[in-house]
């Protein structure tokens, strides 16, 4: 733990001398301009043996929020503002028990608590049992700044929220399937009745996440001011009206000129021991260090496994102490410290230095929306191209250089056409802000960086790039590599087993005529929720995507898929389990959880056209779509001059739209098989892929 020099104990013990000196001079007391910040996402964590991909998601969430707070402090924001920024981000993240993702109470609803406090003035505000404000921490600050009170609760807090202009949401907004599962398990354990699910609630599944949690942040800004913010959804299955420690100033949250503390764990115990204020008191009156005070409260006053605290003192020293198996946490300061942790180990996140790495070959300008977004988001002044084409590496490098330079004209470009050593490659990734899979020989790329599905130093470095807020993108075969599985090729006819039909014009070779079944293998597993297919509409790939998802689900994989159209892209926020459609074209979301095989046919796929601005949230095998705010005009899915492809794109898109809106069944004939669709509500359609039997084929 980084320690700062300075005589804080001496200053506290020599007040009279300090006052006398101040009377004798007009020179202001110097303030260390260095800032520090720490956050937590709760002391109830995933199991220690959870898959690394799950732990990576939580680490990415922590790093994203921490980066926002650090950037705010580095830009001169106050400690109070930085704490609010961090907690708002964590409230919006369904991984944590605050805001969206909050725990259910015993009657199946959500009651949220939050508190914020400025240590330099002792001004504070808190809310308890709120049900309708999207970000309770913002409401707590409104209580502090717009009322003469400290704590508002229940209906009064909700009524006040309606007057503030803050965003209000239905109570169901806060629920997620894994929180619902926690409630059901908790109530069954205590033989209590399980409340009915709300209409259209997603299916629940087992989860490794713990049943309690809170989010919080403490900070010291460049003027030496301290602040704290804490927010929670409470305890799973709690009684209606229960309030925990988070909104209780002095129990779960406290800040003064000496320290700032945010707590997480068994709220009743933190209230009984006034943990946050007690830490400050032990420092003020007992002259203990921050480390001594926090450890005494966590390990001596509280019971084992009660929870933990994050705390910061006037010198910027950070302590993150817990008695639970783990605690989601992170810390950063102006000296370059930036780390996130769940268990005992620390994940150090290096700062990006401005390079964009392009890997692959076969780049084209068909997906300009991706290149434009990539260059804008990476802010790359330098681009490194690492070719991995099936043909000439030099030709691929030239093609990629020319295409990228049209979209990042001010960047310097370096080309690497040889296989580099692991250390060299990892060093490149560690110094990058973005990674771009351009396509080309995808099997070769995966074999190089994630051989046989085994994590390598390179793939871990790619995850670290995501963890520190970097961008990873792909087009064509490049975006197919992003998931745990990827397509190697093959037409819909081959995937469905329709022998004797000519393959679609998707660049596949003659083996598509004889190879039956979806052709896919292991991918990079950088995006774990969906199987992605590109050039979706113009190459008529709905059959192979649904067939592959059905097979993947039978093998224990994800049932969700994305068909990316031309002039379209889907932008993922890995840490938020969220994606947003961008660009003028259309894409397709497929949910294959209910798909069943009927002879050669596949029935029961749920599909939805997604357009620019539509948001997709991935929660435990389900996909929840929030449509864009306004109508979107769709640019033709096909952008080239091939009339058959243009007609095929338009026919497919028209069919899917009619199916989602029709009261009856609609059909689309596609060679030797056909699509039958019917509305499933809320913009979804149910699609059957009907393949005639051998007897029907011979008639």
Question: b or e along 123-132 (b: 16 or more beta carbons within 10 Å of the residue's beta carbon)?
Answer: bbbbbbbbbb
pLDDT at 408: 74
Residues 6+ apart with CB under 8 A from 292: 282
The least confident of 66-70, 83-87, 145-149, 532-536 is: 532-536
pLDDT at 277: 98
In sequence order, which ranges of 379-453 are alpha helices (DSSP H)? Answer: 393-407, 422-430, 442-449
Sketch the domain layout of the chain as residue ranges: 8-348, 350-473
Higher pLDDT, 538 or 118: 118
Highest mean pLDDT among 25-29, 314-318, 620-624: 314-318
pLDDT band at 399; cut points 50, 70, 90: confident
Per the CB < 8 A criterion, the answer to whether 381 and 356 are in contact is no
pLDDT at 201: 36
pLDDT at 401: 74
- Report how far residue 98's alpha carbon sits from residue 90's, in angstroms, rounded to the nearest whole number: 7
Mean pLDDT of 431-459: 81
Higher pLDDT, 574 or 321: 321
- Report how far residue 246's alpha carbon sits from residue 234's, in angstroms, rounded to the nearest whole number: 9
Per the CB < 8 A criterion, the answer to whether 362 and 476 are in contact is yes
Higher pLDDT, 239 or 417: 239
Question: b or e along 77-107 (b: 16 or more beta carbons within 10 Å of the residue's beta carbon)?
Answer: bbbbbbbbbbbbbbbbbbbbbbbbbbbbbbe
The least confident of 200-204, 207-211, 498-502, 548-552 is: 200-204
Higher pLDDT, 84 or 378: 84
Give CA separation, 246 vs 119, 181, 242, 299, 362, in Å: 16, 24, 12, 20, 54
Which one, of 398, 389, 396, 404, lies nearest residue 356 by Cα?
404
User: For residue 125, is pLDDT > 90?
Assistant: yes
User: For residue 373, is pLDDT > 80?
Assistant: no
147 assigned to active site: no
pLDDT at 330: 95
pLDDT at 4: 39
**What is the total residue count of the chain?**
699
pLDDT at 531: 86
pLDDT tens digit string along 449-474? 888 888 888 888 888 777 767 777 88
User: For residue 107, is pLDDT > 80?
Assistant: yes
pLDDT tens digit string along 654-665? 899 899 988 788
Residues 6+ apart with CB under 8 A from 211: 44, 103, 182, 186, 235, 236, 237
Query: Could you check whether 8-348 and 350-473 share the same CATH topology?
Result: no
Mean pLDDT of 99-108: 92
pLDDT at 312: 98
pLDDT at 551: 84
Residues 6+ apart with CB under 8 A from 259: 119, 226, 279, 280, 283, 290, 293, 311, 312, 313, 314
Write down the mean pLDDT value for the chain: 80
Domain 8-348 fold: 3.60.20
- Report how far residue 535's alpha carbon sits from residue 505's, in angstroms, rounded to the nearest whole number: 11
The two structure tokens encoding residue 667: 């059909």
Per the CB < 8 A criterion, the answer to whether 478 and 527 are in contact is no
The least confident of 154-168, 313-327, 651-665 is: 651-665
Sign of CA pseudo-dihedral 649, 650, 656, 659: negative
The least confident of 390-394, 472-476, 501-505, 632-636 is: 501-505
User: For residue 26, is pLDDT > 50?
Assistant: no
pLDDT band at 22; cut points 50, 70, 90: very low
Q: What percent of the chain has pLDDT over 90?
A: 38
Q: What is the DSSP letter of 81?
A: H
pLDDT at 155: 95
User: Can you tell me whether residue 582 is helix, strand or coil?
Assistant: strand
* Alpha-carbon radius of gyration of the chain: 28
Which one, of 318, 235, 674, 679, lies nearest residue 498 by Cα?
674
User: For residue 686, is pLDDT > 90?
Assistant: yes
Give CA separation, 182 vs 82, 239, 281, 470, in Å: 32, 15, 37, 33
**Pairing mode of beta strands 215-220, 151-153:** unpaired
Cα end-to-end distance, the chain, whole Å: 78
User: For residue 647, is pLDDT > 80?
Assistant: no
User: For residue 438, is pLDDT > 60?
Assistant: yes
User: For residue 40, is pLDDT > 80?
Assistant: yes
Q: What percent of the chain has pLDDT over 70?
A: 78
pLDDT at 570: 86
pLDDT at 386: 72
The least confident of 117-121, 187-191, 474-478, 573-577 is: 187-191
pLDDT at 203: 35
**3 state SS for 194-263:** CCCCCCCCCCCCCCCCCCCCCEEEEEECCCCCEEEEEEECCCCCCCCCCCCCCCCECCCEEECCCEEEEE
pLDDT at 653: 86
pLDDT tens digit string along 250-296? 999 999 999 999 999 999 999 999 999 999 999 999 999 999 999 99
pLDDT band at 388; cut points 50, 70, 90: low
- Report how far residue 536's alpha carbon sits from residue 541's, in angstroms, rounded to the nearest whole number: 5
**Pairing mode of beta strands 684-690, 673-681:** antiparallel
| pTM, to two decimals | 0.64
Domain 350-473 fold: Rossmann fold (3.40.50)
pLDDT tens digit string along 500-531? 554 444 444 444 444 567 777 888 888 777 88
Higher pLDDT, 352 or 574: 574
pLDDT at 88: 96
CB-neighbour burial class of residue 289 (10 A; exposed 0-12, middle 13-18, buried 19+) = middle
User: For residue 147, is pLDDT > 70?
Assistant: yes
Catalogue the E-assigned strands of 511-654.
519-522, 530-533, 560-563, 569-573, 578-582, 587-591, 596-598, 601-610, 615-619, 622-626
Give CA separation, 662 vs 617, 631, 633, 684, 685, in Å: 26, 19, 20, 11, 9
Mean pLDDT of 357-364: 65
Per the CB < 8 A criterion, the answer to whether 543 and 673 are in contact is yes
Per the CB < 8 A criterion, the answer to whether 98 and 127 are in contact is no
Q: Given the residues 45, 204, 214, 639, select the one marked as catalytic.
A: 214
Per the CB < 8 A criterion, the answer to whether 152 and 124 are in contact is no
The least confident of 27-36, 85-94, 179-188, 525-534 is: 27-36
């Amino acid at each position: 733990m980084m320690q700062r020099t300075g005589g804080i104990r001496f200053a506290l013990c020599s007040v009279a001398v300090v006052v006398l000196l101040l009377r004798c001079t007009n020179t202001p007391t110097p303030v260390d301009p260095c800032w520090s910040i720490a956050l937590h996402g709760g002391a109830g964590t995933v199991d220690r043996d959870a898959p690394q991909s799950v732990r990576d998601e939580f680490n990415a969430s922590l790093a994203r929020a921490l980066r926002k707070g650090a950037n705010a402090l580095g830009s001169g924001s106050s400690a109070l503002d930085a704490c609010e920024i961090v907690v708002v981000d964590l409230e919006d993240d369904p991984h944590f028990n605050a805001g969206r993702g909050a725990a259910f109470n015993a009657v199946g609803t959500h009651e949220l608590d939050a508190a914020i406090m400025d240590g330099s003035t002792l001004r504070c505000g808190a809310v308890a049992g709120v049900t309708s404000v999207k970000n309770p921490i913002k409401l707590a600050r409104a209580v502090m700044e717009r009322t003469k009170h400290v704590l508002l609760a229940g209906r009064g807090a909700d009524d006040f929220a309606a007057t503030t202009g803050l965003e209000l949401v239905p109570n169901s907004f806060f629920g997620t399937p894994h929180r619902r599962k926690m409630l059901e398990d908790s109530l069954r354990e205590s033989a209590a009745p399980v409340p009915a699910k709300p209409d259209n609630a997603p299916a629940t599944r087992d989860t490794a996440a713990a049943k309690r949690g809170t989010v919080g942040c403490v900070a010291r800004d460049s003027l030496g001011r301290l602040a704290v913010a804490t927010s929670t959804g409470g305890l799973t299955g709690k009684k209606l009206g229960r309030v925990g420690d988070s909104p209780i100033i002095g129990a779960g949250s406290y800040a003064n000129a000496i320290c700032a503390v945010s707590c997480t764990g068994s709220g009743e115990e933190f209230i009984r021991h006034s943990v946050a204020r007690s830490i400050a008191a032990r420092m003020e009156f007992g002259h203990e260090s921050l480390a001594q005070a926090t450890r005494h409260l966590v390990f001596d006053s509280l019971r084992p496994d009660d929870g933990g605290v994050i705390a910061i003192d006037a010198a910027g020293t950070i302590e993150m102490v817990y008695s639970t198996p783990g605690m989601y946490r992170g810390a950063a300061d102006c000296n370059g410290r930036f780390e996130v942790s769940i268990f005992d180990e620390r994940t150090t996140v290096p700062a990006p230095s401005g390079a964009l790495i392009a890997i692959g070959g076969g780049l084209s300008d068909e997906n300009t929306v991706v290149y434009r977004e990539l260059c804008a988001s990476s802010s790359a002044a330098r681009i490194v191209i690492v070719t991995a084409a099936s043909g000439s590496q030099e030709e691929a490098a030239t093609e990629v250089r020319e295409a990228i330079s049209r979209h990042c004209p001010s960047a310097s470009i370096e080309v690497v056409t040889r296989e580099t050593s692991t250390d060299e490659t990892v060093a490149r990734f560690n110094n990058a802000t973005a990674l771009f899979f351009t396509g080309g020989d995808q099997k070769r790329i995966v074999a190089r960086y994630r051989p046989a599905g085994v994590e390598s130093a390179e793939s871990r470095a790619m995850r670290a790039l995501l963890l520190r807020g970097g961008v990873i993108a792909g087009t064509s075969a490049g975006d197919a590599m992003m998931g745990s599985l990827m397509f190697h090729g093959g037409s819909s006819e081959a995937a469905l087993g329709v022998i004797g039909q000519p393959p679609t014009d998707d660049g596949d070779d003659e083996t598509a005529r004889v190879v039956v079944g979806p052709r896919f293998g292991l991918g990079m597993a950088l995006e774990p929720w969906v199987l992605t297919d590109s050039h979706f509409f113009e190459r008529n790939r709905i059959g192979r995507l649904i067939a592959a998802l059905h097979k993947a689900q039978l093998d224990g994989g994800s049932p969700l898929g994305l068909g990316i159209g031309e002039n379209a892209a889907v932008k993922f926020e890995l840490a938020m389990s969220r994606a947003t459609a961008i660009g003028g074209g259309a894409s397709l979301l497929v949910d294959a959880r209910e798909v069943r095989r009927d002879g050669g046919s596949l029935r029961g796929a749920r599909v939805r056209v997604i357009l620019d601005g539509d948001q997709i949230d991935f929660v435990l095998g389900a996909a929840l779509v929030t449509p864009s705010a306004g109508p979107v005009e769709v640019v033709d899915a096909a952008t080239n001059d091939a009339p058959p492809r243009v007609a095929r794109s338009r026919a497919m898109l028209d069919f899917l739209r009619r199916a989602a809106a029709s009261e009856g069944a609609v059909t689309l004939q596609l060679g030797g098989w056909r699509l039958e669709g019917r509305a499933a509500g809320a913009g979804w359609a149910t699609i059957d892929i009907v393949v005639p039997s051998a007897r029907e084929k011979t008639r």
